[in-house]
């Protein structure tokens, strides 16, 4: 289960609440977690991965979702174990603390994918401002409408700038949320190769990108297909995502190297054709728990 959390700045308890009140958001969340974890452990459920988000999204093709604070990936043996959690008295008694600490929660069930965990990346030198400007200039030159089939969105450029300028030289993971078209959507004037199916379009894009990623040491850590719409969604959109990937990057420079590569620019039209919406959110490089 994917868990995306947006926190309050301070605990928000109902005015008429007569029970225990946490003084901080962290304390409120701990009270909730202490009640839930024993129930999860008894069922064999566990937290595979939990991190703090490194910055707002890098790519957002129009989805109204921004500035999440935390991301968790929870492993459940089956859906019954999740229902056991929801129906327990301890959960009911503690949920007020979650409501007090978390402003928005998005829970999305996924298939049980296989983790591809490798040795941690070392820290590196952050990009200089000159490097960032060079990357951004090349990115904007490469992704011309003539080459990609659509004009480059200035908002997307601003997100990438924000991402690059926050570089601390540390490894990170990138959450990829994908909503696909039913059929490939190429621009009417597109004269290049056209895939006949969404899967074929995405494969053409992947074949171009994976060698670039491999050259920088980046790799797909976890990839799954969603098994249904969100279970809990207090933030409105998004709903009904199709795929989730977690990509491991040695540093932000590696991601920028992907964006400015000619092979990426030549293939991005196939991603645009196959994917209706894309949301990329960088997260700190946490540790995975495998069982």
The string of pLDDT tens digits covering residues 262-281 is 999 999 999 999 999 888 88
Residues 101 and 142 both lie in one domain: no
Query: Quick check: 157 pLDDT over 80?
Result: yes
Domain-located, residue 290: no
Q: In the prediction, which pLDDT does 196 show?
A: 97
**pLDDT given for residue 204 in this prediction:** 97
Q: Do 92 and 145 reside in the same domain of the chain?
A: no
CA distance 43 to 201: 40
| Tens-place pLDDT, residues 205-216 | 999 999 999 999
Residue 70 · residue 51 · CB < 8 Å? yes
Among 66-70, 129-133, 163-167, 277-281, the range scoring the smallest mean pLDDT is: 66-70
Do 274 and 135 fall into the same domain? Answer: yes
Distances (CA, A) of 44 to 40, 109, 153: 6, 17, 45
Supply the pLDDT for residue 32: 96
Instruction: Give the model's confidence band at 73: pLDDT under 50 very low, under 70 low, under 90 confident, else very high.
Output: confident
Residues in the chain: 291
- pLDDT of 267 reads 96
Averaged confidence pLDDT in the chain: 87
Query: Lowest-pLDDT range, 5-19, 33-47, 54-68, 105-119?
Result: 54-68
In a domain, residue 51? The reply is yes
Q: Are residues 271 and 146 in the same domain?
A: yes
Mapped onto helix, strand or coil, the DSSP state of residue 89 is helix
pLDDT at 237 over 70: no
Read off the pLDDT band of 85 (50, 70, 90): very high
What CATH number is associated with residue 254?
A: 3.30.70.100
- Pair of tokens at residue 238: 């998004």
Is the pLDDT assigned to residue 249 strictly greater than 60?
yes
The pLDDT of residue 235 is: 61
> Tokens for 80?
């019954």
What is the Cα–Cα distance from 256 to 259, expressed in whole angstroms?
Answer: 5
Confidence at residue 63, expressed as pLDDT on a 0 to 100 scale: 47
Task: Please indicate, yes or no, whether residues 208 and 271 belong to a single structural domain of this protein.
Answer: yes
Sheet with 46-52: list strands edge to edge: 46-52, 70-75, 2-7, 102-108, 232-233
Residue 158 has pLDDT above 70, yes or no: yes
Q: Which of 195, 192, 197 is nearest to 265 (CA)?
A: 192
3 state SS of 151: coil
Q: Is 132's pLDDT higher than 90?
A: yes
The whole domain housing 26 covers 2-108
Statement to judge: residues 52 and 180 lie in one domain:
no
Instruction: Say if residue 31 is in the same domain as residue 144.
Output: no
| 34-46 average pLDDT score | 92
Mean pLDDT, residues 8-12? 96
Domain count for the chain, please give it.
2
How confident is the model at residue 176, as a pLDDT? Answer: 86
On whether the CB atoms of residues 180 and 275 are closer than 8 A, the answer is yes
Residue 59 CA to residue 179 CA, distance in Å, equals 13
In a domain, 113, yes or no: no
Domain termination site, one of 49, 78, 108: 108
Q: Which DSSP state fits 182?
A: S
The span from the CA of 31 to the CA of 250, in Å, is 35
């Amino acid at each position: 289960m994917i868990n995306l959390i947006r926190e309050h700045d301070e605990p928000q308890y109902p005015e008429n609440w007569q029970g225990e009140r946490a003084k901080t958001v962290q304390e409120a969340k701990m009270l909730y977690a202490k009640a839930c974890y024993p129930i999860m452990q008894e069922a064999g459920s566990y937290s595979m991965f939990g991190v703090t988000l490194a910055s707002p999204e890098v790519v957002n093709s129009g989805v109204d979702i921004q500035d999440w604070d935390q991301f968790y990936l929870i492993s459940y043996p089956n859906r019954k174990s999740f229902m056991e959690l929801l129906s327990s008295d301890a959960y009911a008694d503690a949920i007020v603390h979650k409501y007090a600490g978390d402003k928005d929660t998005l829970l999305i069930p996924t298939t049980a994918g296989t983790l591809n965990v490798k040795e941690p990346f070392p820290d590196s030198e952050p990009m200089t401002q000159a490097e960032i400007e060079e990357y951004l200039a090349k990115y904007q030159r490469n992704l011309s409408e003539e080459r990609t089939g659509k004009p480059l969105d200035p908002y997307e450029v601003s997100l990438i700038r924000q991402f690059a300028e926050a570089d601390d030289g540390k490894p990170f993971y990138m959450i990829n949320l994908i909503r696909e078209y039913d059929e490939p959507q190429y621009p009417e004037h597109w004269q290049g190769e056209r895939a006949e199916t969404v899967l074929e379009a995405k494969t053409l894009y992947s074949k171009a990108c994976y060698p670039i990623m491999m050259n920088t040491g980046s790799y797909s850590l976890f990839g799954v297909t969603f098994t249904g719409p969100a279970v809990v969604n207090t933030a409105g959109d998004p709903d009904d995502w199709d795929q989730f990937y977690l990509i491991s990057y040695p540093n932000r420079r590696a991601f920028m190297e992907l964006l400015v590569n000619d092979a990426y620019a030549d293939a991005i039209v196939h991603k645009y054709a196959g994917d209706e919406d894309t949301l990329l959110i960088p997260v700190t490089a946490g540790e995975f728990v495998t069982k």
